[in-house]
Each structure stands twice: as C-alpha cells, then as structure tokens.
Amino acid sequence: MDNNVIDVDFTSECDSNLQPSLTCHVEIENKCGNTVQAINKSTAEALRAVADQIEADELDTGFHPITTPSGEQIGRVYLDYHAEDLGPLACR
C-alpha cells in the first residue's frame, strides 16, 4: 500500500474531514474498424461499458482493460480511489 493512500469507506456518511475522490486515466488506441465511424462507434461502446462498471462499483483501484463489444482490447483505464483531508471545514 502506498503511504499516501488512505482507505475510505465511500458508502458511509460524511463523519470526518476526508473527502472521497477518484482519479481516472484512460488510454485507448482503437484500430478495430474500417472507417472512422466504425472506430468511433466501437470506442464509444467500450467507454460506455467501462462507465457502467464504474457506476456499479465493480472496479477497484488499479488498471482495467477496455474492450470493444467484439472482445478486442483497445486500451486500459486506471482508477485511483483515494481521500483528501479537507480539514475542519469539511462536511458542513
């Protein structure tokens, strides 16, 4: 575990000065299509699938593959769930 990382229960009510945060990095190189429109469509579908997984709380901190609907890996997403100490003014 990184010494700068604070484990936080993101589902609990705000009972401290810690603010949950998410940093997200996305890297995609999609060559799975014969036209720009086909590449755009498969990229958008892949991003929507990752967004659905994030919203459903299915992904933890770390790297996760991004795949097209046909199963081709076109990239990866890195998620970093962490908390920031906002001091005594937090959670008013």
Summarised one tens digit per residue, pLDDT across range 17-68 is 788 999 999 999 999 999 999 999 999 999 999 999 999 999 999 999 999 9
Residue-range definition of the domain harbouring residue 45: 18-89
Tally of domains in the chain: 1
Is there a domain that residue 73 lies in? yes
Whole-angstrom Cα distance, residue 42 to residue 40?
6
Above 50 in pLDDT, residue 3?
A: no
Reported pTM: 0.73
Whole-angstrom Cα distance, residue 60 to residue 78?
9
Is there a domain that residue 51 lies in? yes
Is there a domain that residue 2 lies in? no
Is there a domain that residue 6 lies in? no
